[in-house]
A and B are shown apart, each in its own frame.
Chain A
Amino acid sequence: MRAPTGTAPQPNSPRASSVEPARQLAELHNIYATAPVGLCCIDTGLRYMSINERLAALNGLPVAAHIGRTLREIVPGIADLIEPVYRRVFETGEPVFDAELEGRTAAAPEVDRAWMCTYSPLRDARGRVMAVNTVVQDVTEWKAHERELRAVNESLRQRDEFLHIVADRLPKAMLFRVVHEPDGGFRFTYASEGAEEVAGLTIDTILREPTAVTDLIVPEDRPRFFDAMTHSIETLSPFDVVCRLRWRDGTLHWGHFRSAVRPMPSGGAICEGILLNVTSHRRAVEELVETQARNQAILSGLPDMMFVLGTDGTYLDVHVSDAQRLLMPPDQFLGKNMAEVMPPDLARQFESCFERVRKDGSASADYALMLHGERRHFEARMVPCGTDQILSIVRDVTESKRAQHEVQHSRLELAHISRVTVLGEITASIAHELNQPLTAILSNAQAAQHVIAAGRDLGEVGDMLSDIVEADQRAGDVIRRLRTWLSRDQFLPQRLNVNQLILDVEPLIRSELIMRHVRLTLDLDVAVPDVTADRVQLQQVILNLALNGIDAMQELPFGERQLTIRTLVSGNEVQCAVRDRGTGIHPDHMDRLFDAFFSTKPTGLGIGLRICSSIMSAHRGSIWAVNNPEGGATFSFKLPAADGRA
């Protein structure tokens, strides 16, 4: 408050005289007494010349108690602060405006208070400063408010700063503020540092070019985006849109806009929110959807049936493309326990499989079920699925079992045909082999008849009969061997010694060797371990190879027709080699030797070696041929030794 210029009123002064001035004085006095500010007048001796009620109250003393008393006496707590100010005003004659003062007075000795003071000099007629008029305003409350305001401002500033720091560091997100004008125009007034990560734009670009962000939205998504935006502004409802953004570098991204809208007093609206780059999330979702679709397609396309069961055997999920292969419609499985669904034996088999899954991580089961009056075969494989579920994949193997059976049957059939064929090729030998004992029988019998008819010594007849019996047995052996050879028995693998088998085959080719003038040498390693094989089939291989060897030497002089059958141990395998001194194998034929219907013999069917090869496959063995350096060929096969060489 500025001090009044010119002659200051002296409210407490008794010198006012005229009526008009007296009325004015009374008014002044009244103002002085009731002014909402503290007023006082201090003389050169720093004594109170006058004081109004308000200031007296601030000082904590009645008005009367002030008059004529010094500052130090009345307000000792602040005397040191204000005395110098008064002295200066007396000395300089210059007023002091709005000086702040803090301290304590008798009115509230415990409380710091603040005042705003203006010191104005009062001059006498000669211009000397005779008193200082003081206006005191208690600003304690105001100061407190100001401090509070400052604190609030500071806290707001810090919060603002925090918000900016956070906003600028949001990963793949940009905070924004958009101002929508009533005319429909809009512009970004704020964008956080995430601008690069969500839109590939600088903040500056976004703030400078109002449509920089919305221009990125792909044309297909624009109508949806702007419809939602219009709706949001009109209804002041939140905005939430996901759309595709084609960045200026050409790459495609997904943006998720979320914002709140508030109206502006001037019309239009302010839209504040966040733009998230949800590309990777979106891709993950797309991949997930794709994976699920693919899984579903696989499930529905697979011939296998899938059952998800709880470890207690409760059906949780069933996928099957052909419900005909189930015991009941798929949905009826759900919630049931397998013990309620399966025949008891099968349920027990599955329960023990579940045990194995828990222990070993997987299990499998082969089983058959009567379905619609037909026996069908299944293979189930079980694996853990999550922590408390088991996935059981079931395949109907009825057809493949049938096919397998048919293949095996055909192979046996073909092997049989081959044996019959071979027999046809060596009929002369077989006849020879049978005719020898028959000759012995007939000759002995007729010799006996002769002796008896002549009535001679019958002693020798006993010998003759013994020889007949012996020869008959030998003929019987030949017949038995032929019967075995021609049998259509099942594939019957058993433990065999290859050496013994060769010795068994030898009688079958003995006559052939004699008639074809071939000398057979056996070079058998007594150390060969047993093998597991079907007797007749393995004999067939040996016989075929031997007869092939014999055939190959037809053009040689008698003395050079030499066939060798050799056995040897090769690692954990037994090898058998049939070696001839014949014409060898033409290089062009080497690759086709074991093909069906390949034959170099004019009357050959081309099934002999093919059969040998398929027999070897069925025995997990192999067969091959090489030409010998000195001429002729060697056909060899090898078979794994039976477990636990004995």
Chain B
Amino acid sequence: MTDLRPLVGVIDDDAPALKAISRLLRVCGYDVCAFSSAQQFLDQGSAIDQRLNCLVVDVHMPGRSGLELTDDLDLADRAVPIVLVTGAADAKLCSRAFARGAVALLQKPFTKVELLDAVGRARDHAKTRAQA
């Protein structure tokens, strides 16, 4: 049964936000792996890559930012659909996010519907890619 639950990775340097986003996804039927930095995911996340349906990543983090992470994953050929999350969005950031292949860019604070919609689209994206 549990195997049927989709897995989402969440990366945010802000602990309360990380905890809350993970909790929301979990109660909505997702399994969640939480990471407090991009580096932590790069180091530990490869093990779950195969099961990972989507990554929800904060753009502004100390060290590697969310945008940089997309580049890193591309380089590592770890194709995971990414939902970027930002506390301070602007048009420039938006275009950069989509240029890097992000599925969605969410503006904090986002609603449950926005989050589930973005994660859902990411899952579809992943399926499409897998079938291709």
Q: Which residues of A contact B (CB under 8 A)?
A: 428-429, 431-444, 446-447, 449-451, 454, 456, 460, 464, 467, 470-471, 474, 511, 513-515, 517, 519, 558
Contact = CB atoms under 8 A, between A and B. Distances in A.
Interface string B20-62: 1101101110000000000000000000000000000000111
A440 B62 contact: no
Nearest to B23: A447
Contacts of B21: 439, 443
Given A443-B20, A444-B24, A436 B108 contact: yes
Contact of B109 (A441, A454, A515): A441
A446 B112 contact: yes
Determine which residue in B27, B65, B85 has the highest number of CB atoms from chain A within 10 A of its CB, and name it.
Answer: B27
B109 A439 contact: yes
Given A446-B111, A450-B27, A511-B87, A439 B62 contact: no
Contacts of B24: 443-444, 446-447, 450
Interface string B73-94: 0000000000001111010000
B28 A435 contact: no
Interface in B85-107: 85-88, 90, 107
A436 B111 contact: no
Contacts of A434: 87
Given A435-B109, A436-B108, A515-B60, A443 B90 contact: no
Nearest to B64: A558
A470 B88 CA distance: 22
B113 to A, nearest CB: 9
14 contacts: A428-B88, A431-B88, A435-B107, A436-B14, A440-B16, A443-B109, A443-B112, A444-B23, A447-B26, A449-B112, A464-B20, A467-B20, A513-B62, A514-B60
B23 A464 contact: yes
Given A435-B108, A440-B16, A451 B27 contact: yes
Given A434-B87, A436-B108, 14 more contacts: A435-B109, A436-B17, A438-B108, A439-B21, A440-B20, A442-B111, A443-B17, A443-B23, A444-B24, A447-B23, A450-B28, A450-B112, A467-B20, A514-B61
Contact of A511 (B19, B23, B60, B85): B60
A200 B90 CA distance: 102
A519 B85 CA distance: 22
B34 to A, nearest CB: 12
Contacts of A428: 88, 90
Given A432-B60, A436-B14, A436-B87, A444 B20 contact: yes
B97 to A, nearest CB: 14
Nearest to A464: B23
B27 A437 contact: no
A443 B110 CA distance: 8
Contact of B19 (A440, A450, A513): A440
Given A431-B87, A514-B62, A467 B16 contact: yes
A429 B109 contact: no
Contact of A471 (B16, B26, B86, B107): B16
B110 A437 contact: no
Given A444-B20, A444-B24, A519-B62, A439 B87 contact: yes
The 7 closest A-B pairs by CB, nearest first: A432-B87, A443-B20, A435-B87, A435-B108, A428-B88, A438-B109, A446-B112
Contacts of B13: 514
Contacts of A438: 108-109
Contacts of B20: 439-444, 447, 464, 467, 471
A460 to B, nearest CB: 8
B88 A432 contact: yes
A442 B16 CA distance: 11
Determine which residue in B68, B86, B88, B112 has the highest number of CB atoms from chain A within 10 A of its CB, and name it.
Answer: B88
A431 B17 CA distance: 15
Contacts of A436: 14, 16-17, 87, 108
B104 to A, nearest CB: 15
Nearest to A463: B23
Nearest to A444: B20
A433 to B, nearest CB: 8
A440 B85 CA distance: 13
Contacts of B60: 432, 511, 514-515
Contacts of A513: 62
A520 to B, nearest CB: 9
Contacts of B115: 443
A510 to B, nearest CB: 9
Contacts of B90: 428
A38 B23 CA distance: 174
Contacts of A437: 16-17
Nearest to A446: B112
Contacts of B19: 440, 467
Interface in B1-17: 13-14, 16-17
A118 B128 CA distance: 187
Contacts of A470: 16
A149 to B, nearest CB: 133
A441 to B, nearest CB: 7
Contacts of B17: 436-437, 439-440, 443
Contacts of A474: 16
A441 B13 CA distance: 16
Nearest to A430: B88
A437 B14 CA distance: 9
A467 B19 CA distance: 9
Determine which residue in B26, B87, B112 has the highest number of CB atoms from chain A within 10 A of its CB, and name it.
Answer: B87
Contacts of A451: 27
Contacts of A456: 27
Contacts of A441: 20, 109
B107 to A, nearest CB: 8
Contacts of B65: 517
A565 to B, nearest CB: 16
A513 B62 CA distance: 8
Contact of B88 (A435, A443, A446, A558): A435
Contacts of A442: 20, 109-111
Contacts of A429: 88
